[in-house]
């Protein structure tokens, strides 16, 4: 009789619920808990296997009639920004991203709340309280960081940090093969800056500088316009039945 180690993860399946991305579809997810000293190693393995992390839960789609959700990762060392992306970098040249431990703040929540109210008023996160936000940031057993983006200040050259108001935030997992962008948000009144694109570009540069290969973007949902932006960051790989394979797509 085979003995399984007590630390082997247990997986569970959710009940069907309406898909938030594709009308008329129903989603199911398989999930497990990321806890204990093996959580960072398990998070690496599961992320490479197409899972995403939310607090201490790792999940991936397990829908019965749809396969539209596809895991995406950017090949950071090969990436070259498009003309439009170079413009975004130039527009945000006055911003500095500073990496911190995963600790929430009232300033972060204020920006998070403004972002949700402007961009996702009817989304599943729209009623998140300050306590919910704190749990989203703190409830992690893996190597999670907060990157805060602020304008350059007079001491930035010395401290390496920005000053002034917070304009964007990324909640990011550091993994053995790169960075996984768990969640990001920004000042909705600064739409002309394309801060969402800027934060992805910043994560690519951080990954390149660390000599690591991948930036994980979560799921591209084929047929969902709101997810099309992920296709712009080339080259990238998609996870399919044969494993991770290079995906050819013309960048914008």
Residue 204's pLDDT is 98
Residue 127's pLDDT is 82
Residue 115's pLDDT is 95
Report yes or no on 129 lying in a domain: no
Report yes or no on 62 lying in a domain: yes
For β-strands 214-221 and 69-75, DSSP reports them as antiparallel
End-to-end Cα distance, the chain = 56
Report yes or no on 216 lying in a domain: no
Report yes or no on 238 lying in a domain: no
Report yes or no on 61 lying in a domain: yes
Residue 153's pLDDT is 67
Domain that holds residue 43: 12-68
Cβ-based neighbours of 158, under 8 Å, separated by 6 or more: none
Report yes or no on 123 lying in a domain: no
pLDDT tens per residue, the chain (252 residues)? 444 444 678 999 999 999 988 999 999 999 999 999 999 999 999 999 999 999 999 999 999 889 999 999 999 999 999 999 999 999 999 999 999 999 999 999 999 999 999 987 666 677 899 999 999 999 999 999 999 999 986 665 545 566 688 999 999 999 999 999 999 999 999 999 999 999 999 999 999 999 999 999 999 998 888 889 999 999 999 999 999 999 976 544
Report yes or no on 26 lying in a domain: yes
Report yes or no on 102 lying in a domain: no
Residue 10's pLDDT is 92
| Domains in the chain, number | 1
């Amino acid at each position: 009789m085979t003995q399984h180690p007590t630390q082997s993860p247990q997986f569970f399946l959710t009940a069907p619920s309406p898909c938030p991305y594709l009308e008329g579809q129903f989603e199911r997810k398989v999930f497990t808990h990321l806890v204990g000293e093996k959580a960072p190693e398990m998070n690496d393995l599961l992320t490479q296997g197409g899972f995403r992390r939310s607090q201490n839960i790792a999940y991936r789609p397990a829908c019965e009639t749809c396969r539209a959700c596809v895991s995406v990762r950017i090949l950071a060392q090969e990436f070259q920004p498009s003309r439009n992306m170079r413009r975004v970098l130039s527009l945000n040249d006055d911003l500095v991203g500073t990496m911190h431990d995963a600790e929430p703040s009232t300033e972060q929540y204020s920006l998070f709340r403004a972002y949700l109210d402007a961009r996702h008023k009817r989304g599943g996160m729209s009623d998140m309280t300050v306590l919910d936000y704190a749990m989203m940031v703190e409830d992690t057993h893996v190597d999670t960081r907060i990157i805060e983006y602020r304008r350059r200040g007079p001491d930035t050259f010395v401290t390496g940090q920005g000053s002034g108001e917070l304009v964007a935030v990324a909640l990011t997992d550091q993994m053995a093969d790169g960075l996984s962008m768990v969640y990001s948000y920004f000042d909705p009144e600064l739409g002309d800056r394309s801060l969402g694109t800027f934060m992805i570009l910043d994560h690519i540069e951080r990954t390149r500088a660390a000599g690591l290969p991948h930036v994980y973007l979560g799921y591209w949902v084929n047929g969902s316009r709101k997810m099309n932006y992920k296709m712009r960051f080339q080259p990238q790989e998609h996870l399919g039945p044969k494993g991770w394979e290079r995906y050819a797509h013309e960048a914008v």
